[in-house]
Amino acid sequence: MVDVARLAGVSHQTVSRVLNGHPNVREQTRLRVRAAMEELGYRPNAAARALVTGRSQLIGVVAQNSTLYGPSSLLAAFELAASAAGFAVSVRRVRELDRSSIEAALEQHRNQRVAGIVAIAPTASANEALATVSAGVPLVTIDGDPERGAPLVTVDQEAGAYAATRHLLDAGHATVWHVSGPADWFDADGRVRGWRRALDEAGAEVPPLAAADWSAAAGYRAGQMLARMPEVTAVFAANDHLALGILRALSERGRSVPDDVSVVGFDDVPEAEFFIPPLTTIRPDFDAVAAETLGLLLAQLSGTQAAPVQRTLVPELVERRSVAPPQR
């Protein structure tokens, strides 16, 4: 740092202020210091900096060991957002989102002296665990329980499901069938609520719920049942993989999409526009969720967040070719 200060013609305190993003540094001075750092190949010593400031540049993440599109996309988006802000990310993946697993993951992060922790906790069991253990550092939950009163960022699942169901009703369908995700997931529960609310407001019949998991195989099994029912003309699937399985089952039974049955999914996976037909779906903004999560965590670290803050982001409807008016 002394070498950088000498080359830039400033004090080492000014170099420190530039490194810490202090606002009271003239832009010309900041650029001169950055140029000197670049010329000398200077890199801050993260360990020494943590000792001086009491805060590392490492954020811990607790996530389920899963390849599901939603949680995986959230994790990837958060890693990019944290990196852009100058933080490294340490991920602890757990097999089950239960108390013992989450407690062990939090302990590992504390031992690393992380600045803060993000928990991707989309299930009821995960939130029960988080409610009974102490992180010991600032913590923000993604997709958690809004009733817990803790810092939280989530997608408005109910609003997304409402939009999907409303889109099918507006196309002229008398009612909409729903293939749901696992009951323990907040995402699945919110999507059921949004589906039911749209039907209730329209005065439409609420069909029996077809409960499933998040897989294409579960969608295929539900689709085989729905394909045998001529009264089914519209289906809202709780995610795009379920919708993919439903499309396959309908095709095998000779029921055309969207001529015989309209289908809407949720998540807008990258493959959705290449389904046959291209899938109308609900698109959450994972980058926005990541940015809001990092913002809440940094607010805790800086001491500017006086009380727990929750952010809920509304997803958008992406119209493609899997929805049409019902045949008369």
| Residue the block writes with tokens 């967040």 | 305
Tally of helices (H runs) and strands (E runs) in the chain: 12, 12
Instruction: Give pLDDT, residue 189.
Output: 96
Amino acid at residue number 299:
A
Strands (E), the chain: 58-64, 88-94, 116-120, 139-142, 152-155, 177-180, 210-211, 234-237, 262-264, 281-283, 310-313, 316-318
Residue at 228: amino acid letter: R
Question: CA 272, CA 279: separation in Å to the nearest integer?
Answer: 5
The enclosing H or E element of 80 equals helix 69-84
Q: What SS3 state is found at 284?
A: coil
Q: What is the tens place of the pLDDT at every residue in 4-30? A: 999 999 998 898 888 777 778 888 998
Report pLDDT for 55. 57
Quote the pLDDT of residue 47: 47
Helix (H, G, I), strand (E, B) or coil at 277: coil
Distance CA 282, CA 266 (A): 4
Report the distance separating Cα 319 and Cα 322, nearest Å: 8
Tell me if 221 sits within 8 A of 246, measured CB to CB.
no
Residues of the chain with pLDDT under 50: 47, 50-53
Q: What local confidence, expressed as pLDDT, does residue 51 receive?
A: 44
Residues 303, 146 contacting (CB under 8 angstroms): no
Question: What's the pLDDT score for residue 208?
Answer: 97
Q: What is the pLDDT of residue 46?
A: 52
User: Do 272 and 299 meet the contact criterion of CB atoms below 8 Å apart?
Assistant: no
Q: What is the DSSP letter of 98?
A: S
Between the alpha carbon of residue 43 and those of residues 4, 37, 113, 291, the distances in Å are: 11, 8, 20, 26
Summarised one tens digit per residue, pLDDT across range 222-265 is 999 999 999 999 999 999 999 999 999 999 999 999 999 999 99
Task: Give the pLDDT of residue 45.
Answer: 59
pLDDT score of 19: 78
